Every structure is written in structure tokens, then in C-alpha cells.
Structure 1
Amino acid sequence: MPDFSPTEYAVPLFVVAVLAEMVWARLRAPEAYEPQDTLVSLAFGLGSTVAGALLGGFAVAAFLAAYEYRLFDFGPDGNSAWWAVWWAWPVCFVLDDLKYYWVHRAGHRIRWMWAAHVNHHSSQHYNLSTALRQTWTGMFTFGFLFAVPLVLLGFHPAMIAICGGFNLIYQFWIHTEAIKRMPRWFEAVMNTPSHHRVHHATNPRYLDRNYAGVFIIWDRMFGTFEAERDDEAIRYGIIKQLGSFNLLWAVFHEWIGMIADIWRAPWRHKLSYLLREPGWSHDGSRETSDMIRARWQARTGAQDATSGMSVADRNRIAAGHEAA
């Protein structure tokens, strides 16, 4: 396997970019950075690197074991170099990004996986340091298993890891408010700061939208795209804000809450608190993102971007069917 990690080479660029954005924020948007929040984000990034080094070997072992049962062979054979299969790299990158869309979507729709992914959304600020706010516990959600189909298809684990590294590098720059819009053709195909600001928003309109990593086309294809609006200010963070800069609480708060809910729940509902969407409760005392959006739509008559039809219109149509 090639001994190459693109993210290691990108770290100096990350540092320079964060410092440059801090200068921009000082001059143009002082509220974009909060010192304690930034320190927490940096600590998240450091802890995530350590966790990956300690636990990543398990995923590598699983991939190498699965690779023995591959259907095809898109990696080099014993007589060729990695560059000799150049055509497989863009294919792997696109398929890996499609995989990222689905693992990211699962991270928002399955509470067990959200317990790890919520870390990335816990800041109420949106800047390049927020991109470093990565989970320490992602390995425990087994999200890496989403890549197994690529391994079985015939892409070498090292190829997938390198493509994933470049995917992560791409996503760094979209965590900023310094860039408003990219050219229209770029916004149509690629994930951008505008699209990703929507993803980090807590506004009902924007909840659980724009899961893309690199290509926003996946959200357009699978009905989860929402465009940023200029007439609605974005509120960042999570529905129930942390209200604290305590690093350990930021890392583990959702795990603690989930375990507490499972402990208290009746036996027939315990598994649901693990596998249902965040906010679900067996007694209806809380709200999921779908419930929050539906309540907002009912109040405002706003259109659902996935259907192009307002709630009021849907209700009128439903009433017509019932009358018929």
C-alpha cells in the first residue's frame, strides 16, 4: 500500500487559512470567532487525530479482510504501479463521496451515530476552525462499514483512504462565512460554503439538509437539498445548545443523554432510543427534525423543498380526497 496521507500535508495550509480568516473576521465580522469556542474546536481536532491513531487499525483490518473477497480488482497487480490504474482513482473518489453522503445522512438520522457526529455541529460559530471539530468516538458507530461495498467491489483500502483524505481536505474550506456564493455552475454541482452553512443551521427550514461532502448533486438526487436564502439569517449549533465550553461535556453529552434515555425507557422502546432519529421519544415529549419542520411549515405555510408543495396545499388536496 502507498504510504501517503493527504491530510498530513494539508495541515500547514489549514493553519494558514485559519489565521487568514481570523484576520478577515477581526476586520469584517468580529462575531465569527469566539476564543473559547475556537480552543474547543482545536482540542476536538487534536483528540480526533489521537483517537484515529489508536482505533483506526480496527477499520484497516476489517477492510483488508474484506478485500480478499473482492469481485474485481481495481488496484495495481504485482507488476504495475499505483499510477498505472489512473482511471480507477476518479471512479473511486466519486463512489467514496456517494458513500460519504449516505454515512453522513445516517449520522443525522440514527441517534447512535448522531451521538458521535453531533460534535461537529455543536459550535454556535461557523468558521474554518469549526471544520476541525471532529469526533473522538466515530469508530464506535461503525460508520466505516459503509465503505465495505467499495472494498468488495475491488478498490484497495489504501485507495479508498487516500480518496477519503482528499474529500476531507475539500470540506475544510466550505466552513466559512467569508465566501458568500460561488459561480452558479459551481454551486449547481459542488458543495460550497453556502450549501454547507445550510447544513450547519438550526433553522427549521434547513434542518437535516445538504449532507454532501464534495458533490452537492447527491442532495439534489435524493431530495435533501435546500438552498441558502438571503432573507433568513442562519442560526448555528444544535437544537439544544451545549451552553458550555467544557470539552469533555461537548464530546460525550449525547452519549450520556442517549444512555440515560435507554436506561429509563420501557423495554419495548429501548432499542428505538438507539436506532431512531435524534429527538424521538416514545411518549411524544420531544421533537425530531421532521416534526420541527412540519410544525414550522404548518405555521408559515412554507414550501417543503423536497416536494415543492406547501403544507396548506397538501392539506387541501388531502381534504379533497377524503371528500371524494
Structure 2
Amino acid sequence: MIEAGQVKFHVASLETRQVMRHYQVIINDDLVNDENAFSEVERANISRKWKLQKSILTKYRKFKVGTEIDIGTPYHHKDLMSHLMKNVNTYRKFIIPYALPDENGTLDLDRGIGILTMPEMFCWEDFQEKRQEMGPSLFGTQYELKVVDDLDRICEEKWLRYWAVLPKNYQRIFVIDPSGVGDKEDPGTGVFGCDIDPAGYVYVIYAEEVSTTPYQLIKLLEQIRSQYDPDEIYMEKEKYSDTIADTLQHLESKLFFSFVEHKGRTKGYRIGRIKQFMETGRVLLGRGQRTLEDRLLNHPDCPKHLLDAMAYALEKMNPPKRNIERDRNSSSEDDFEEELKRAFVYRQEAEVMENDSIF
């Protein structure tokens, strides 16, 4: 409990049955967040808890609950906040914390909604930058309370952009999302490779779905390492037993790959984040990458291993520092040989100079 003067706050989790049962004003804070919005299971759990809380409070009081304030923003067209906005008639007013001026630069203050309520925290320029960074769809759901019906769609055809020339300064990542024994509807192993430039743009250089055995997977890793020489290779571990995963890692240590750690996030949540990159134009595809185009345009009604590999690459991307160019035509072995030759020549010159000084 928090008490300041005449104001008293009783703080408890949504699962606590006796939360604020003696108070006339009930505040539910952060009913929905981006961690629980992109999973059907999590959406159902948060809705079930909210309904349970409402029913318990009503039984305690034997009549109406009182004034209830739900604080939060929608992330998904099926989450709890979107449900409250569309279906619960007892809500009389929604306060939208943000709106941009119109094309003429004026703001309609008589609308009653869409007015900036916290100017001490954000200014118009801050929100404009957020809109550019997040993309109109995600920004609209969280800051303008726009319930988007097709939020599960992560890409529109007009968002597809293609690279013409690869950057000279880049970080190269490959991610492999193997298909497991239980993936009968999604049998293909997703392999995604990309270059990231200093500005954070993603240039897709490889995107395929392949059918592999554990032995073929090792050969695939060898091919990727020799042909593309990536800075990092990541592979999802959960589809294999620890024994197989450890065997791959120890026997193929020369390939220098790491296993993916998803930190408890669901596949739907991870893939949902791709929309932000596609809508803002930060992903550039290569010409002829039909499989990736099909998966982006047809999600969620498509195999997902390739998209999951892409999502993890976007999460692990680390844009390189500026003004550092790399030669794409030379391998690390060539660089080592050149350095060895220079060291040998330098040693010969030093020996000649030493002999001349003796005589």
C-alpha cells in the first residue's frame, strides 16, 4: 500500500483476489503489453484474468463495481484493450495521448480526443521521430488508439524494396531455424543471411527454405562459412535435443556458430516485429528471392521457419561503425597471407640493414 496525505493506493497484481475491493476507484495499469499481445495463448490468459477480476469484485460488492480506469494501449486487434474499445459499452470515454497537427500545421483542440496530455515528457518532434521509427501501423495502435484489423499481416506488396548495390561497410549475419520432427506442416529449415550497414538498413543476401538431415545441416554450415564468410552464424537449438546440439557445436567448432536464445518470446511475437522494419523501408530484398516475398506477403497463413530466422537476425543486428570499408573480394585467409608476406619482407630488410651495419 502507498499512502501520501489523504490519498491511498493499494497495489496488487491482477491475480490477487482482494485487490482494491474496498475502494471506489479501481485502476488497471498496463493490461496489455508487447510481450503478451502477439500470442493467442497470452491474449486468452490476460482476458481470462481480467474477467475473473471483474466477477470477483462484483461479488464482493453485491452491486456495481465503481469507477474503473484501464490504462494501456492496444498492440493487437485481438488483445484485451482492443476488445474493451469495440465491445464493452460501459466505457464512456477514451483518452488518446497523442495527435499530430494536420496538413496545414493546425491542431483541432475541440475534438476532445487526440490531444497531447503529457507535454512535459514529449514534444511534437519526439512523436514524429517515433512514428518514423515504428512505422504508421504500430505507432497508430499504441499512440492513436487505431484498431487495425489486419495487424497479423507483416508486409504489404508496396513495402517491398530491393537493393541494387551492397554496402562496403557492413556486418554479415546468418541465422538457421531448423525444422523439427513435429513440424509436419512446416517442414523446411529456414536459412536467412543479410548485411547491415551503419545506418541500420538490412540487405538480404540469402533467404531459402531447405530440407536437411543433421549431416546435411553440417554441410550447409560449411557452405555458408566458405561461400559467404559471415561475421556470425546463429542456429536455433530448441528443435534438437541437447545431445545433438552439443555434438554439432563440438564437432564443428571450426564453423564458429552460436545457438539462438529466444528469452521466452513466442514465435508469433518475434515474427510480428518484422512489420516495423518492412513498413519503414529498412529491409532491402535481393531480386529473385521469391520464397521470402511469399512468406512476407502471406503471413500468418504460411510456413514460418524462414520468417523466424529473419526476425532473429533483426534482433541480433549490430550496425558497424562508419568509415570502415571491407573488401568483398578477399577472404580472411587471403588477408592473412598478405600480412605474412609483409612481415617476411620486413624481416628480410631488417636482416640486410643489420648485416650492412656490421661491415
TM superposition score category, shorter chain reference: under 0.3
Identify the structure with bigger relative contact order (alpha carbons < 8 Å, sequence gap 6+). Answer: 1
- TM-score with structure 2 length normalisation? 0.24
Q: Normalized per residue, which structure has more helix?
A: 1
Q: Normalized per residue, which structure has more strand?
A: 2
- Say which one has the larger Rg: 2
